[in-house]
Amino acid sequence: MLEFLHIVLSSVELQHSELSELLFPTLLKTIPHNLHDEAFKVTSLMLDLLKGPMTKRNLKLLISVLVHKYTMRSKEHKLLVEKVVCKVFLGPNSKQIFDIFLAECLFENVLQQGTISPDDESIHFEKLSLLWEVVVGMSRAHVWHFRRILESSVDSLKRVFSHNNRSQHFVVKLLFRLTQYFLKYCAAYHHYEHIRLQQ
């Protein structure tokens, strides 16, 4: 069935985005426990059919299946994650849904105090890994996204940092990467903007 959908969607014109919106949630729910790469391939094709920002429900569902403990971590899974980062989280319509992404992968991605199950910890770090992929994927065109992370993330990063050594390593690595981004894309802009305002 998935192979059939892959063939059909490969020939669908891009303007038929309503087909993708209709099938997308149903398809996403089939990804966990699925041993066939076609699930990732069909999802990737549906992302190409989507017009405008993804709905909040579909975005949260997409994140949950990508990090699900029973989702197969294959080459196609990695390719789908890369496409989601580029097209959804950092794409042309990403500003409308970026705060939802940050809430899912950072603000609300908190491990409760006390006994923590290995599954909860695994999902926690899988979501942080998605955040890392987004930060790594940011270019000069994503200064707005960079500012949203800085403006919104201080308290959340403090909570992540307090969890364990692995969490501390992630936060230090993330802050270093954000500093690199600032120096590469923002520092010169602020310098010349300051000179312009003085003139």
147-162 residue pLDDT tens = 999 888 888 888 888 8
Cα distance between the two ends of the chain: 66
Q: Is 166 helix (H, G, I), strand (E, B) or coil?
A: helix
Q: Annotate 152-171 with b (16+ C-beta within 10 A) or e (fewer).
A: bbeebbeebbebeeebeebb
Q: Is 11 helix (H, G, I), strand (E, B) or coil?
A: coil
The string of pLDDT tens digits covering residues 120-135 is 899 999 999 999 999 9
pTM for the predicted model, two decimal places? 0.83
The string of pLDDT tens digits covering residues 50-83 is 777 888 989 999 999 999 999 999 999 999 999 9
